[in-house]
Amino acid sequence: MTHTVTLIPGDGIGPEIAAAVQKVLAAAGAPVQWDLQPLNESILTETKGVPPAAVLDSIRRNRVALKGPLTTPIGAGYTSLNLVLRKTFDLYANVRPAKTHPGVRSRYDNVDIIVVRENTEGEYSGLEHEVVPGVVESLKVITRKASDRIARYAFELARAQKRKKVTSVHKANIMKKSDGLFLECCRAMAKQFPEIVYDEMIVDNTCMQLVVRPERFDVMVLPNLYGDIVSDLCAGLVGGLGVAPSGNIGEQGAIFEAVHGSAPDIAGKGLANPTALLLSAVMLLRHLGEMDIATRVEGAVQKVLREGKYVTGDLGGKAGTMEMTDAIIGAL
Ligand code: NAI
């Protein structure tokens, strides 16, 4: 069966790394047909941040997408498209694995963490207003519905992947009601998964423990803002943005993307590391049930990373995007 997948190459290095993914998946024989949807900063500036109907229809139809990075205005201008897509399709779980890759220089050699971040509410509800000049209120919203479903997602993922532990991360000592509700939902969910160890940790201590003893963590479940920050920390534990994949998953669909942005400093130069988007495509293949092909592509990426001969500059190598891509295809 061929799967039709929406492909949004995006801005900056997006088109270069999207081309790399298309080439590798074709070489691996992945039964994927791409539904190419152009979308970038200039289109979004024109539409004031509203995604074109064709893009939304494509995702609605295909229910799965691979997305390159989009350049977003900072501090002013339209809402980030990522936020719009998460809200439109209710992509409530942001899943970010952080696993040590032998061959990729990092401070640790034993990290294997999956961060499960609530993706729809918390401080990212977009409810901000100026009360009087110089005073701004920003509302953090935590609901039982969203906390329950993200907790369920984390425990089900732990069970499916035979993981041992789920750690819930919070600041309920200060935000007793909001983070307190999040914790209450996680505790209740833990009771339904007795084979999985459940523990809790305050977010500031979590950051310290992640740096000192990252091997103590397995699956982590976090409200939106803490998840956003802690998952970047985890990416740093295993070699940085160039190798960090992610998925935004909901009942109506799933969008997979690299954690990094459009890297304007290296865009168009053929220098971008395709690994993060490729590993996002591996997550996508698993989501589609294409387990064998996913494992083959992942294995080929790991082989090239381990050998270190054809890797891009961010990983200390001299290869360009296409040279690394061709080495991965060779390793298939
Ligand atoms: P960035 O991730 O684009 O770049 C940070 C640094 O990492 C740069 O030095 C860049 O060259 C390097 N880098 C990133 N990806 C790389 C790759 N695949 N290979 C080699 N080097 C890589 O973050 P920055 O500069 O803060 O953001 C640039 C733009 O991207 C902004 O407009 C931002 O809003 C947007 N962005 C979009 C995201 C998305 O669409 N999911 C996520 C993060 C940022």
Write out pLDDT tens, residues 113-166.
999 999 999 998 878 899 999 999 999 999 999 999 999 999 999 999 999 999
pLDDT 10s digits, 274-310: 999 999 999 999 999 999 999 999 999 999 999 999 9
Question: How far, in Å, is the centroid of ligand 1 from the Cα of 328?
Answer: 23
Edge-to-edge strand list for the sheet holding 165-170:
32-36, 3-8, 64-67, 254-258, 245-249, 93-99, 112-118, 219-222, 165-170, 197-202
Read off the DSSP letter of residue 11: S
Q: Which residues of 223-236 are buried (b: 16+ CB within 10 A; e: fewer)?
A: bbbbbbebbbbbbb
Q: Of 11, 153, 171, 226, which is the active-site residue?
A: 171
Asked if 65 and 151 sit in the same domain, the reply is no
Instruction: List helix spans (H) across the chain.
Output: 14-27, 41-46, 53-62, 81-88, 144-160, 178-191, 203-212, 224-237, 275-287, 291-307, 321-331
Ligand 1 interacting residues, C-beta cut-off 6 A = 13, 69-72, 82, 241-242, 257, 260-266, 272-273, 276, 312, 314
Asked if 161 and 201 sit in the same domain, the reply is yes
Asked if 132 and 200 sit in the same domain, the reply is yes
Asked if 139 and 207 sit in the same domain, the reply is yes
Residue where a domain terminates, one of 200, 215, 237: 237
- Reported as a pLDDT band with limits 50, 70 and 90, residue 76 is low
Asked if 67 and 21 sit in the same domain, the reply is yes
CATH code for the domain of 124: 3.40.718.10
Beta-carbon contacts of 61 under 8 Å, excluding residues fewer than 6 positions away, are: 4, 35
For residue 160, what are the domain limits?
A: 107-237
Catalytic residue at 228?
Answer: yes
Looking at the structure of the chain, the number of domains it has is 2
- Percent helix / strand / coil, the chain, rounded to 5: 45, 20, 35
**pTM for the full model?**
0.94
Asked if 39 and 140 sit in the same domain, the reply is no
Question: Is 99 among the domain residues?
Answer: no
Catalytic residue at 179?
Answer: no
- Assess contact for 100 and 122: CB atoms under 8 A: no
